[in-house]
Amino acid sequence: MHQFLEAAIIGVGLGAQYALLALGFTLIFGILGVVNFAHGGFYMLGGYVAYTCVAGLGLAYPLAVVVAMLATAALGWLFELLLIEPLIDDHLATLMLSLGLYLIISTVVLAIFGPISMEFAFPVTGSFHAGSVYLPRENLIVLAVCLVAIACLWLVLFRTDLGRALRALADDRAVGMAQGLRPRLLFPLAFALATGLAGLTGALVTPILSLAPGVGEPVLATSFLTVILGGLGSLGGAALAAFIVGLVEAYTSVYFGGSIGALVLFVMVLLLLVFRPTGLLGRDVRGA
Amino acid sequence: MSLLEIDGLTIRYGGITALNGISIAVTEGETVLLVGANGAGKSSTINAIIGLVPAAGGRIVFDGKDLATVPCERRARLGIGFAPEGRRVFPRLSVTDNVLSGAFGLGRAHQKQALDWLCSVFPLLIERAKQPAGQLSGGQQQMVAIARAMCSFPRLLLLDEPFLGLAPVWIQQISAAIAQMKQRGTTVLMTEQMARPALKLATRGYVMRGGEVRRSGTVAEIREIALADEYL
Ligand SMILES: Nc1ncnc2c1ncn2[C@@H]1O[C@H](COP(=O)(O)OP(=O)(O)O)[C@@H](O)[C@H]1O
Ligand SMILES: [Mg+2]
């Protein structure tokens, strides 16, 4: 029983991380129509910025996390404004640009930090006991921060003018512009929001998992998988799918061990695409 | 002086000339009707004013300002409201969010004032406030689209076939709402294929055909022409 509960908490923790990544990924796709191949790069960069702040500048870890989030948001903002925005309607061009940015981020990280993984440890250790259930404190902290971030994102998207404008542009860009919504102002902000969340996740999670060049690739793969599972462009679907993916990974690794989780997930997505091609909460977006 | 002055406007889609040098003027406070069959160029005219299609020639002057250098997303803030053909509400946004998206960045006080007034014109906006607009009927969506266009309190309201495909009961309700927009002092430029309900609202009109303005005149004159040409 305690194993079952532990796996549930671990799964929810993973789910919250995946949700932050997938929500950003689907935000960029749903609003801008851009597939951001650099998403994993922003995650990795968040980790390296936080590491540099702690190890190089001696900042406290929580402050380093904030700096990492702001830095990745700023880079996302600049990237969208200067490179994506002029080519926003050219899907192939934006795809190549984001892939190019990913390669640049990877190469710069490799050049500065080398190929080995960094000694970057979460500052809080130990674990929390409740009866026979045993949970690492670091996972609980990361889970709490991720949930707060998801709640903040929800508030921005559903309780502010900015969020409303972004959702309107996602539904019908031409009509949104005709109502006075300005993509040139709003799209860089949406991009920054998404990449800032990826950077935040990287800063929180890489000290627990690992920090090395290449940690971004599985992140991109998981984001893709989550977003397809949830339904392209659906925020609720991405969040739901993220927690499903997290729980599946946690339970398969606890009960079957190893990499069977990835297999289970791919089979799930495959079946879903056969029986419900729009994803869990996706729908025909042509509207009424 | 005219609030809106269109002079020799030409629009091409690839090789097709949709508008061939039309001239239209709308004075502050008027309600002007563009009437014409499908393909006459009514939507092209409206879309060119709001900036969704580029002009291949001619000038559009709003409130003394040439719109040639003003991109689409800045025209709304000059005081132009737009309810497109086919309504095109934001399907996944709630009714309230649809309406308020027409007042981005105008501040909470303006938004509240506008929403209160629009809710008094369209009680539907209260009843269906939280429902995704994509789930509404055509007539309801048209109301949302007009409310969205009015939420910034524009000086000029563009209505592209607001009665298209609607049952008489909806046409009546929407006509009453448009009359309230006029009472507020809003200048209206609207299009219709079927002129009858729209003529009740208009002060003046233009008859379009094949991308050209064929006739213009008072409501009575347009009614005569429309009768002869079977637009009624
Ligand atoms: N996006 C477009 N691409 C090509 N041709 C178009 C397009 N939009 C309109 N047209 C053509 O332009 C002409 C005028 O169309 P439109 O302005 O929609 O007329 P109306 O609104 O009076 O029905 C028509 O011949 C139509 O086929
Ligand atoms: Mg039309």
**Considering only the top CATH level, what class is B4-231?**
alpha beta
- DSSP state, B165? T
- Residue B203: φ, ψ to 5°: -105, -30
Fold held by A2-275: ABC transporter involved in vitamin B12 uptake, BtuC (1.10.3470)
Q: What is the pLDDT of residues B124-136, one digit of tens each?
A: 999 999 999 999 9
Please tell me if residue B98 touches chain A, with a CB cutoff of 8 Å: yes
Between CA A187 and CA A190 the distance in angstroms is 5
Strand blocks (E) in B14-91:
16-27, 31-35, 57-62, 65-66, 80-83
For the residues A117-138, what does the mean pLDDT come to? Answer: 88
Which among B49, B73, B98, B108 is the top mutation candidate for probing chain A, defined by the most A β-carbons within 10 Å of its own β-carbon? Answer: B73
Task: Find the mean pLDDT for residues B105-125.
Answer: 95
Q: Is A256 helix (H, G, I), strand (E, B) or coil?
A: coil
In Å, what is the CA distance from B197 to each residue of A36, A281, B158, B178, B191? 49, 42, 16, 11, 11
Instruction: Tell whether B148 lies on the interface with A, counting CB pairs under 8 A.
Output: yes
Each residue's pLDDT tens digit, A39-82: 999 999 999 999 999 999 999 999 999 999 999 999 999 999 99
What is the H or E stretch that residue B157 is in?
strand B156-160
Q: For the residues of B184-226, what is the DSSP string, one character each? A: TT-EEEEEESSHHHHHTT-SEEEEEETTEEEEEEEHHHHHHHH
Report yes or no: B152 and A180 within 8 Å, Cβ to Cβ.
Answer: yes
The residue type at A10 = I
- Asked if A178 lies within 8 A of B84 by C-beta distance, the reply is yes
What are the DSSP calls for A188-214, one per residue?
Answer: HHHHHHHHHHHHHHHHHHTTTS--STT
Query: What atom of ligand 1 comes closest to residue B45's alpha carbon?
Result: 17
pLDDT tens string A148-203: 999 999 999 999 999 999 999 999 999 999 999 999 999 999 999 999 999 999 99
Please count the CA atoms within 13 angstroms of the CA of B58 that sit on its side-chain side: 22
Q: What is the pLDDT of residue A261?
A: 81
Cβ of residue A176 closer than 8 Å to a chain B Cβ: yes
Dihedral angle, C-alpha A117, A118, A120, A126, nearest 10 °: 40
The residue extents of the domains of chain B are: 4-231
Nearest to A179 among B101, B134, B136 (CB): B101
| CA nearest to A172 within chain B | B90
The closest-lying atom of ligand 1 relative to the alpha carbon of residue B211 is 14
Q: Which alpha helices (DSSP H) does A52-90 contain, by range? A: 61-79
Instruction: Give residue-wise pLDDT tens across range B129-177.
Output: 999 999 999 999 999 999 999 999 999 999 999 999 999 999 999 999 9
